[in-house]
């Protein structure tokens, strides 16, 4: 069967791109080698930096693992599954499914980078399960690609960093508010252009697809932890309690304890958001919301605990790989490698090319340091003064760093791990199965952001 160009690219990527853990380990070795070659650090210094960095993302990894396990518990209930199936049933054409997934993902990711992956992955999975003519690899790629504007949005790490007092406030020339970054004309127009361009691109990729690999084709028989696949999670809690009727059994089977705590949590959320508004949204808030809604949706505490433990297994990639990237980030920062590479590349820039080069530099560095905050702290002390020397507004340099940091996420599997626990559970789906479809999006998004940085105004 003759395949389309996009399918050939995706197939090539799946054949030659290693497992995401291997990718992280290779980058670790490369970072160590570069530090030894281009800095004054000795082997001991490099290994010290690596050792110190491993725990840097322990808290972040736990936050994400907890949030995703709690979100999967919510999905792991018959009522929620019925709601998802009802929503998915309203979509009858594959093209509509692809477009809806991309638009939903972009909107939710712009609101919160910690919200988009959960919502979009659940939605994409539900649609693919219901529609046999939807390619599961492609809709997974669309879900992940929609994340590309996340860190330019309301929860963007770098825009929030420069809007708050911190160690680099003086370096960037004072506070830079969200109205100059997230809500600038340049950012909003480029974000809209990216959503439109990626939607159109995926529309044609889908239309030209010759081979459809459905959710059912990738499903592992008997390997789906979520009861939603069989609609039996609530029953599982009862089965595990057996047929006895002791006081302890009645308490375990009762919904009152878990419902009481769920209602208390819900009441507090109403109060919390009344006091803080959307400014109160962060990863901890989302984790709490997932926990509370899960308490309200599950039948009893035992069923909840069983579902949580079962679904926690699927977050293993996050728990393992995030600390490894913490070690890489520490090597770049502690040895001065980020500064050396940045200085060398900026030295060949001109006022006309500076923003483009900054964008490309941070895009390359993002492959090694995919944490926006870590990369900004490591590069801003070199890139901001470099831009000032050319008379470039610090806000533009900040946005060039922001865009570059997100751009190469389209080929870096680190952030795909946010989607993977939900998309892959109970299937043979691998990250490399869908990342290849993101390559044309990488090119398109790169062009849009380079044009935006050089030609769009921050404000009208």
Kindly state the tokens that stand for 459. Answer: 């404000």
- Whole-number pLDDT of residue 292: 94
For residue 48, the surrounding DSSP H or E stretch is: helix 43-53
Kindly state the tokens that stand for 24. Answer: 């992280």
- Whole-number pLDDT of residue 226: 42
- Whole-number pLDDT of residue 136: 96
| 76 close to 228: Cβ distance less than 8 angstroms | yes
- Whole-number pLDDT of residue 144: 95
Helices 316-334 and 354-368: crossing angle, nearest 10°?
A: 130
- Whole-number pLDDT of residue 244: 64
- Whole-number pLDDT of residue 5: 65
| 185 close to 152: Cβ distance less than 8 angstroms | no
Residue 73 Cα distances to 297, 308, 320, 424, angstroms: 9, 6, 21, 15
- Whole-number pLDDT of residue 234: 43
Query: Mean pLDDT for each 10-residue chunk of the chain (460 residues)?
Result: 65 72 88 94 96 86 83 76 75 92 94 84 90 93 95 86 79 87 95 96 90 92 47 44 74 93 96 84 80 91 90 81 85 86 81 94 86 78 86 95 94 84 88 88 97 95
How many Cβ atoms from other residues are within 10 Å of residue 86's Cβ? 11
How many Cβ atoms from other residues are within 10 Å of residue 98's Cβ? 26
427, β-bridge pairs? 219
Can you spell out the DSSP letters for 336-396? SHHHHHHHHHHTT--TTTHHHHHHHHHHHHHHH---HHHHHHHHHHHHHHHHHHTT--HHH
- Whole-number pLDDT of residue 9: 67
- Whole-number pLDDT of residue 72: 77
């Amino acid at each position: 069967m003759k395949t389309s160009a996009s399918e050939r690219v995706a197939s090539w990527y799946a054949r030659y791109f290693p497992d995401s853990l291997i990718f992280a380990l290779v980058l670790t070795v490369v970072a160590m080698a570069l530090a030894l070659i281009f800095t004054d650090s000795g082997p001991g210094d490099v290994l010290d930096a690596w050792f110190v960095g491993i725990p840097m993302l322990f808290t972040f990894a736990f936050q994400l693992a907890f949030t995703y396990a709690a979100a999967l518990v919510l999905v792991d209930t018959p009522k929620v599954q019925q709601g998802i199936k009802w929503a998915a049933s309203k979509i009858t054409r594959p093209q509509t499914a692809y477009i809806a997934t991309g638009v939903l993902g972009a909107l939710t990711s712009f609101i919160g980078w910690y919200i988009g992956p959960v919502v979009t992955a659940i939605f994409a999975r539900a649609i693919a399960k219901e529609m046999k003519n939807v390619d599961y690899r492609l809709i997974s790629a669309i879900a992940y690609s929609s994340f590309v504007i996340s860190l330019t949005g309301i929860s963007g790490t770098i825009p929030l960093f420069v809007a708050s007092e911190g160690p680099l406030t003086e370096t960037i020339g004072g506070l830079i508010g969200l109205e100059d970054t997230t809500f600038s004309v340049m950012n909003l127009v480029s974000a809209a252009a990216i959503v439109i361009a990626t939607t159109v691109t995926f529309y044609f990729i889908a239309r030209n697809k010759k081979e459809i690999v459905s959710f059912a084709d990738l499903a592992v028989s008997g390997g789906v932890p979520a009861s939603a696949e069989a609609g039996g999670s609530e029953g599982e809690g009862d089965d595990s309690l057996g047929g006895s009727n002791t006081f302890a059994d009645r308490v375990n089977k009762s919904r009152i304890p878990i419902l009481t705590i769920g209602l208390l949590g819900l009441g507090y959320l109403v109060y919390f958001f009344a006091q803080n508004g959307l400014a109160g949204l962060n990863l901890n808030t989302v984790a709490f919301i997932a926990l509370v809604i899960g308490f309200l949706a599950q039948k009893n505490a035992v069923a909840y605990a069983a579902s949580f433990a079962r679904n926690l297994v699927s977050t293993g990639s996050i728990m393992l790989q995030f600390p490894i990237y913490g070690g890489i980030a520490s090597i770049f920062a502690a040895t001065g490698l980020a500064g050396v590479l940045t200085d060398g590349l900026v030295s060949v820039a001109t006022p006309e090319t500076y923003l483009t080069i900054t964008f490309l530099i941070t895009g390359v560095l993002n492959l090694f340091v995919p944490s926006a905050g870590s990369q900004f702290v490591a590069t801003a002390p070199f890139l901001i003064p470099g831009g000032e020397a050319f008379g470039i507004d610090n806000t533009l340099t900040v946005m060039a760093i922001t865009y570059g940091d997100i751009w190469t996420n389209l080929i870096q599997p680190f952030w795909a791990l946010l989607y993977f626990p939900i998309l892959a559970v109970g299937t043979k789906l691998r990250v490399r199965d869908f990342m290849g479809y993101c390559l044309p999006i990488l090119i398109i998004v790169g062009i849009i952001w380079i044009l935006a940085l050089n030609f769009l105004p921050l404000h009208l």
